[in-house]
Structure 1
Amino acid sequence: MSVGLSLAALGIGSQIPLTLLATPLWVLYGIGCGTIAMGCWVLAHECGHNAFHPNRRIEGVVGFLLHSALLVPYYSWARSHSVHHAHCNHLEQGETHVPPRASSTLGQITEQLKKMLNPTLFGIISLFNHLVIGWPLYLLFGATGGEDYGFPTSHFWTGHPFANGQRNLFPEAFRKLMVRSNIGCLVMLIFLIIAAMHSSALRVMCVYGLPYLVINLWLTTYTWLQHTDQNIPHFSNTTWCWAMGALQTIDRPYGPVLNLLHHGIGSTHVCHHVNSAIPHYNAWRGTALLRQRFPELVLYDATPIPEALWRIATKCGGAVYENPQDKAYYY
């Protein structure tokens, strides 16, 4: 379904005229095609968790092809994402959307910026940083990565200047798989260049680039809202444990259409962190069982997504402060 609909949407995009009058059509196309193709991203994500198919070779091929087509270094990202699952909401060893502490240099800068700007402007900047440039910055430089891995880190190279933390996010033994991931992305880039030569660079930028931006927007929206809010704690080495970290995950209401297209990734995420090997089509039953048996542990926020996104952008865009009572860190 995801691949078929994505290819159909790309076919429609190839027929839209490259004129200013067609701008509204291009906007609708980018939103529609990117939203549909996000389903392919989610399925490749399941392959990285060994939740797609019992045959690991088939699973690896599907995940590698889908993610490479979306310019995602499949094996490298699967590695960093497994670190995220192993150390969820861990300030030192966590990955993706790890907030800076108020005592850190980055934390002090963001808090000063937050005080200088009005909430609306700060929220707009926060949304842009996360939804537009956040994903490329994470892949290229390790933005919002855990403290122990240092900055920068890269999903494309393990050597200098990227391996300068207390821990290596990508050990030297991982380099072969990283190179394989890089080759997949390079082949896709070559394909896009050839397509631009046969049609035009503008056509490729519109047909491929617009959905690509929307896919990145959906990806960062999901991951940001899954692990961030004012009442969600982040833990240091002294207080973190796996269960506490995994359960600081929030299920949110994305509605039947998005849940169908994106395989429920935002509405069954607590279950996904409890056991990431559960396929998406079984995560609904797993979520129902978790909510039935442990209602006080499964977090759910019914706030509409746009409202929750704006609240988190304005209220949670800065640093986290340590709470004296539980020694956890909150925005």
Structure 2
Amino acid sequence: MSTGLSLAALGIGTQIPLTLLATPLWALYAIGCGTIAMGCWVLAHECGHNAFHPNRRIEGVVGFLLHSALLVPYYSWARSHSVHHAHCNHLEQGETHVPPRASSVLGRITEQLKRSLNPTLFGVISLLNHLVIGWPLYLLLGATGGEDYGFPTSHFWNGHPFSNGKRSLFPKRFCTLMVRSNIGCLAMITFLIIAAMQSSPLRVICVYGLPYLVINIWLITYTWLQHTDQNIPHFSNTTWCWVKGALQTIDRPYGPMLNLLHHGIGSTHVCHHVNSAIPHYNAWRGTALLRQRFPELVHYDATPIPEALWRIATTCGGAVYQSSHDQAYYF
């Protein structure tokens, strides 16, 4: 379904005229095609968790092809994402959407920016930083990575100057798989260059580039809202344990259409962190069981997604402060 609909949407994009009058059509195409193709991203994510197919070779091929087509370094991302699951909401060893502490340099800068700007402007800047440039900055430089891995880190090279932390996000022995990931992305870039030469650069930018931006926006929307809110604690070495961290993620209501297209990634995320090897189609039953048996432990926020996104952008864009009550860190 995901690959078939994505290819059909791309085919429609090849027929839209490259004129200013067609701008509304291109906007609709970008939103529609990017939203559909996000389903392919989610399936590659399943492959990275060994939750797609019992045959690891088939799983690896599918994940590598899908993510390479979306310019994601598959094996490098799978490695960093496994670190995220192993140390969820861990300030030192966590990975992705790790907030800065108020005592850190980045924390002081963000808090000063937050105080100096009005909430609306700060929210707009926070949305642009996260949704538009957040994903490339994470892949290229390791933005929002854990404290122990240092800055910068890169999903494309694990040597100098991208390995200067207390811990290595990508060990030296991982170099072969990192090169393989890079080859996949380079192959896709080569294909896009050839397509641009055969048609036109503008056609490739519109047909591929516009949906690519929308996919990235969906990706960050999901991950940001899954792990960020004012009532979600973050832990240091002294207070973190795996169960506490895994349960500090949030299920949200995305509606039947998005749940179908995106395989429920935003509405079954607590279950996914409890056991990431559960396939998406079984995560619904796992989620129902978790909510039934441990209702006090499963976070669910019924706030509409646009409202929740704006609230988090305006209130959770700064640093986290340690609570005297439980020694955890909160926005």
Counterpart mapping for 1:176-325 below 5 A: 176-325=176-325
TM-score computed with the length of structure 1 as normaliser? 1.00
| 2:156 aligned with 1:168 | no
- Three-state SS of the structure 2 residue aligned to 1:45 is helix
| Aligned residue identity for 1:307 | E
Query: Gaps (5+ residues) in structure 1?
Result: none
Residues 43-54 of structure 1: matches in 2 within 5 Å?
43-54=43-54
Structure 1 residue 133, shift from structure 2 partner:
0.1
Specify the alignment match of 1:41 in structure 2: 41
How many positions carry a matched residue from both structures?
331
Alignment of 1:50-69 (within 5 A): 50-69=50-69
Q: How far did residue 218 of structure 1 move?
A: 0.2
Residue 132 (structure 1) aligned with residue 132 (structure 2): yes
For structure 2, which runs of at least 5 residues remain unmatched after alignment?
none
Matches within 5 A, 1:69-88: 69-88=69-88
Equivalences for residues 10-29 of structure 1 within 5 A:
10-29=10-29
CA distance in 1, matches of 2:286, 2:101: 34
Residue 266 of structure 1: how far off its partner (Å):
0.1
CA distance in 1, matches of 2:35, 2:313: 21
Equivalent position SS for 1:36? helix
CA distance in 1, matches of 2:325, 2:147: 23
Q: Which amino acid aligns with 2:38?
A: M
Q: CA RMSD of the aligned region, Å?
A: 0.2
Q: Distance in 1 between the 2:278 and 2:231 partners?
A: 27
Task: Please name the residue that 1:3 is paired with.
Answer: 3
Q: Matched residues in 1 for 2:287 and 2:280: separation? A: 11
Q: How far off its partner does 1:308 sit?
A: 0.2
CA distance in 1, matches of 2:200, 2:238: 56
C-alpha separation in 1, matches of 2:126 and 2:289: 36
Q: Distance in 1 between matches of 2:299 and 2:117?
A: 32
Report the alpha carbon displacement of residue 249 of structure 1 after superposing the two structures with TM: 0.6
Counterpart AA for 2:21: L
Which whole-Å CA distance do the structure 1 matches of 2:55 and 2:247 have between them? 30
Superposed displacement of residue 63, structure 1: 0.1
Say which SS state the counterpart of residue 32 (structure 1) adopts: helix
Deviation at 1:197, TM superposition (A): 0.2
Query: TM-score, with normalisation over the residues of structure 2?
Result: 1.00
User: What is the CA deviation profile of residues 197-250 of structure 1, one whole-angstrom value per residue up to 9, with x for unaligned ones?
Assistant: 000000000000000000000000000000000000000000000000000010
By how many angstroms is 1:325 displaced?
1.0
Large movers: runs of 4+ above 4 Å: none
AA aligned to 2:311 is: R
Percent identity between the two aligned chains: 89
Deviations 1:136-164 (Å, cap 9, x if unpaired)? 00000000000000000000000000000
Q: Within 2, Cα distance between the matches of 1:113 and 1:289?
A: 43
The alpha carbon displacement at 1:299 in A equals 0.6
1:325, 1:278 → 2: CA distance? 35
Give distance in 2, aligned partners of 1:271 and 1:109. Answer: 35
In 2, Cα distance between equivalents of 1:55 and 1:187: 25
1: CA distance, partners of 2:320 / 2:267: 26
Q: Deviations over 1:275-320 (max 9, x none)?
A: 0000000000000000011010011000000000000000000000
- 1:325 & 1:277 partners in 2: Cα distance? 35
